[in-house]
Structure 1
Amino acid sequence: MNKEERIKHLEAEVERLQGDCAEAYQVLGCLTEWVKDDEQGDLDLVLDNLWAAQCGEPKPHDDILPWPKGVITIKP
């Protein structure tokens, strides 16, 4: 694979990964409606990171892992 082909391949891979992040953002966004998050906003931080990744922006939060930091329960 020459340099131009490699660049095209990597660009396609970045686009695919951004799409994967967009899908994960949608799924996690729906799941957060059913989860009670005792660690105020941990899931929102994950959503922020996924949003940034899908937009090709820097990761805003580096302090999510290890996760969960608190108790996660399903809302009644």
Structure 2
Amino acid sequence: IDPDNAMPETPMENNMATSDVPLDVRQYNEGEPSDSPDEPESSALNLGFVAIMVAAIIFVVLIVVAVLVMRET
């Protein structure tokens, strides 16, 4: 067994990946509002993304229902 590949012993070593993240990324990940100039653009993008996902889910449900109806006949 290679001792260099051993698991980190302390929780601080496990937390190294998130300790150096910039503050604005942490705020974005925690859902805190930020005063960014592209706020309306990002919210419109989020609404469009939600609309596309809802349409895709409805499309998949329609396909599943169609397959079930075709199997019964």
Q: Which has the higher strand share?
A: 1
TM-score of the superposition, structure 1-length normalised?
A: 0.42
TM-score of the superposition, structure 2-length normalised?
A: 0.43
Q: Give the structure with higher Rg (CA).
A: 2
